[in-house]
Chain A
Amino acid sequence: MIRKITSLTKVFLKDINKNFRIFNKKKKIKLKDSSFFWMIIIIAIAVAFLSYKAIGFFNSIGQPRIFLTIYFIIFTILLMFEIILVTINVLFFSKEMEYVLPMPISPIELLLSKYAVLLVMTYITELIFSVVPLTIYGLLTHISLLYFLVMPIVLIIFPALLITVISTITIVLMRVLKIIKNRNIYQTVITSILLVIVLLFEGIIMSTFTMERPVDIEQQNISQEQAEQQAIEMYNKMGKGFLIVNPSIEILAVPNNILAVLINFGKLIIYNLVGLSVFLLIGKKIYLKNILIGTTNIVSNKNFISEVKYETKNKNIRKAYIEKDFKQLVRNPTFFMQLVFPVILILASILIIGNFIIPSIDTMIQSDETIKNTLKNIEFNTNMVCIILCALQVLFSMSAISLTAISREGKSAIFLKYMPVDLYKQFLYKNVLQIVLNFIVSIIVLGIIYFLISRIGIIEILLIFAISIFMNFINSFLMLVVDLRRPIMDWDSEYQITKNNPNKMFQYVFMIIMVLALMYLTKILGELSVILSLGIQLLIFMFIFVMINVLIRKNIEKLFSKIN
């Protein structure tokens, strides 16, 4: 049985990660030549830098444990989103199921191998987002060697319960909603329901926590230590909501207390065993009955003739082209969930977390007179502009619509070459969806900032918006250039070009370059007034955009040469 599960897991993983060259033993690609290797390094460096700063801050106020709590809560939410976005595909929409089902495999074996696939996928996320910050935490807080022994075990156990819970809900939802005949709508609806549940869960936990925080520190006249202690208690209450968060933190915060470590490991194991049992029990009863929903296409026999919708007027080429691109993006659930959903989720999370966590940190800061006075004197300046533009740049890098604009077409991308439409015009049309999404992101983010920060003026916000438009163009154009030069047209699973696309490395590198450039500009323009500095930055980005555009136009034939 174990051999069967191992073999099945290997096959499923290979199917998902065909393009994940880091695992390709046959080709013997050197690690340094793998895009994924460099992508992981880049992300790890960014995560390390942020963690180092955050741990340093909490260490300086003598509360390093707050880092662990905030980190684990954010990481749990991130993992939940990640698991939701992949679970339905792994369980129900993987193409290899049709070949596997006729084999003598029991439902339990199938469920366990799918569970193992999800575990491996989350371990990769952990490798990128957890190992580095937790190691830095261990080093900076000078915890004993035991910490480094228990840390890998915690990370191995940590995602297991999240996977079983989300997978069980997915299987049940698939059963309940099987009335929906369109598999694409089906997939999107179930994922949306799961994501809304997580967001609501996130909101409820956060609001419970904020309801209990002291309303006015000065009125209550409590000390800084008391305020900090209250904050820790509140974060602990939040952690409890996630069940696995607090035991994991307890193990990592006091690794020398063997008894506490054993008790908390015991708790984690019990939670996981219960989760796994429920998953297997429910899965055994209903998983196989629904498994083919995702792989079967149904040609409906209803009254077609009345449904044939002819166009009533001629559309111009631009409109028809963009409309086709839009339909192909939103009708493919994997594309939609991997390329558009993350941005929506991040915006929703920013709203929820921003609404609840920032006021609590603010409460702590208010109790410290020095920090309070420093904050009072802060005016809206170029540094704040830099932070806003960097945040926008990070958000622009979350979506890979332009980065996959050609690859998404797959083998049919050759139509770009034989359609009687100018290649440069096609280049522009292919950018529209990404630009529109980023445009909406800019409006929402800047809108929130405008209403939150009373010191910011309308001219400043309009200038930032104008800069963000050119940053948006530059981002989108360059990412499309990357896809044109390194298109992945021969794919079987959409994951090969969304989640596992090695070209994403360029997106992250570009993001870092832009952030560094913005920081440098802030440094050299810092002495000027905010409006003047913004005006100069706007001119610089306009110039860069014009240059990029000229170069693209000049080399358009060369850019499209890889599509053949």
Chain B
Amino acid sequence: MIELKNISKSYKKNEKVINNINLKIEDGEIFGFLGPNGAGKTTTIKMITGILNVDEGDIFIDGKSITKQPVEAKKQMGLVPDNPEMFLKLKGIEYLNFIADMYQVPVNLRKSKIEELSKEFNMYEALSSKIETYSHGMKQKIIVIGVLLHNPKNWILDEPMTGLDPKASFILKEKMRQHAKQGNTVFFSTHVLEVAEKLCDKIAIIDNGKIVLLGDYNKIKEEFNNNTSLEEIFMEITKNDKKNN
């Protein structure tokens, strides 16, 4: 479970980029975090994962505060960042072993998991090559495998579908569904509204640092009009919000 309580953040004095956000992502949920460019999605994800400090409020990962018990909280989650250009000089297998060491995945388990996941994502044969030789999609896949490897209860994914080929994208979506079904949490941001539409149990739209829409996707649809697409809802909400500002 991920819980954000009265979260605010500013980079400059008196200019809040995140303004008093409250969110609760229950176990077993896939939560889509949407918003236009610069709305505050990545800043929120960075605060949830401990990359950015929280100015006001607190964030709890399975009840562990990211500000007070950062190491314990981080053990409960796995992040797929928006930029997969990481650890380029390591070989794929070295990167996965490094992640397994950091999250203390036992040797036997990691071996079977690496084999299973890398074959599933069609990456097994590339594991012996350095990450710098991978295409963008392959880099994205190795990061995803790294997260799935230690099987954290809470998955946080920042634009995970970018650069993935259709097959990998399908597998990832299946994995997200499976993970949530097992009683875990999936929190992901995306620009691809069709993905959110098909995948999410709950969505939140953030604009100018504020949550402008939050709730069960099916209920939201009912509120608008059952035939309204998420794209239309998104356009409507963000347009209204701009008018209000």
Interface residues of A (CB under 8 A from B): 184, 297-300, 304-305, 307-317, 319-321, 324, 327-328, 331-332, 410-412, 414-415, 417-423, 557, 561, 563-564
A307 to B53 CA separation, bound complex (whole angstroms): 42
Neighbour of B87 across the interface among A184, A324, A417, CB < 8 A: A324
- Pull 6 A–B residue pairs with CB atoms less than 8 Å apart, ordered by A: A317-B104, A321-B102, A412-B83, A418-B50, A418-B51, A420-B72
Looking across the interface, which residue of chain A has its beta carbon closest to that of B105?
Answer: A314
When the two chains form their complex, are residues A311 and B74 in contact, meaning their CB atoms are under 8 A apart?
no
Bitwise, B104-135 to A at CB < 8 A (1) or not (0) is 10110011001000000000111111101110
Residue of B nearest to A299 (CB): B133
A417-B49 contact, Cβ under 8 Å, with A313-B107, A327-B94, A411-B85: yes
Q: Which residues does chain B contribute within 8 Å of A298, judged by CB atoms?
A: 133
CB distance from A184 to the nearest CB of B (A): 8
Determine the chain A residues whose CB is within 8 A of the CB of B145 once the complex forms. Answer: none
Write the chain A residue with the least CB distance to B90: A327
How distant is the Cα of A331 from the Cα of B70 in the complex, in angstroms? 32
Contact (Cβ within 8 A) B129 A419:
no
Closest to B79 in A: A418
Q: How large is the interface on B (under 10, 10 to 19, 20 to 34, 35 or more residues)?
A: 35 or more
- Name A422's contact: one of B71, B98, B127 (CB within 8 Å): B71
A184–B114 Cα distance when bound, in Å, is 27
**Would A304 and B128 count as touching, CB distance under 8 A?**
yes
With A304-B125, A305-B124, A310-B114 as given contacts, are A419 and B74 in contact (CB-CB < 8 Å)? yes
Contacts of A561 in B (CB 8 A): 53
The answer to whether the Cβ of B93 comes within 8 Å of any Cβ in the partner chain is yes
A308's partner among B81, B110, B124 (CB-CB below 8 A) is: B124
- Is B101 positioned at the interface, with any CB of A under 8 Å from its CB? yes
10 closest Cβ pairs, A-B complex: A320-B101, A412-B86, A420-B74, A307-B128, A417-B51, A331-B89, A297-B133, A420-B75, A304-B125, A418-B49
Within 8 A of A (CB), among B26-68: 46, 49-53
A331-B130, A418-B79 are known contacts; what are 9 more A-B pairs with Cβ within 8 Å? A304-B124, A309-B93, A315-B101, A317-B104, A411-B83, A415-B87, A420-B75, A421-B71, A422-B71
A314 pairs with B106, CB closer than 8 A: yes
Once the chains bind, are B97 and A564 in contact (CB under 8 Å)? no
Whether, in the assembled complex, B234 has its beta carbon less than 8 Å from a beta carbon of chain A, the answer is no
Which of chain A's residues has its CB closest to B114's CB? A310
Chain B residue at smallest Cβ distance from A316: B101
Distance, CA A321 to CA B89, complexed state (A): 14
- Say yes or no: A332-B50 contact (C-beta < 8 A), given A305-B124, A320-B101: no
Residue in B closest to A314 when the chains form the complex, CB atoms = B107
Interchain CA distance A564-B81 in the complex, whole Å: 12
Query: A298-B133, A420-B71 are known contacts. Are A304 and B127 too (CB-CB below 8 A)?
Result: yes
Using A300-B129, A420-B75 as known contacts, say yes or no to A564 and B51 having CB atoms under 8 A apart. Answer: yes
Residues in chain B near residue A412, CB distance under 8 A: 83, 85-87
| Closest B residue by C-beta to A319 | B101
CB distance from A563 to the nearest CB of B (A): 7
Q: Which residue of B lies closest to A558 (CB)?
A: B53
Complex Cα spacing A530 to B147, Å: 58
Given A297-B132, A420-B74, verify A317-B101 contact (CB < 8 Å).
yes
Q: Does B100 make an interface contact (CB < 8 A)?
A: yes
Q: Are the CB atoms of B53 and A557 closer together than 8 Å?
A: yes
Task: Tell me the bound Cα distance from A516 to B110 in angstroms.
Answer: 54
- A312, A411, A415 — most chain B CB neighbours (10 Å): A415
Residue of A312, A327, A328 near B107 (CB, 8 A) is A312
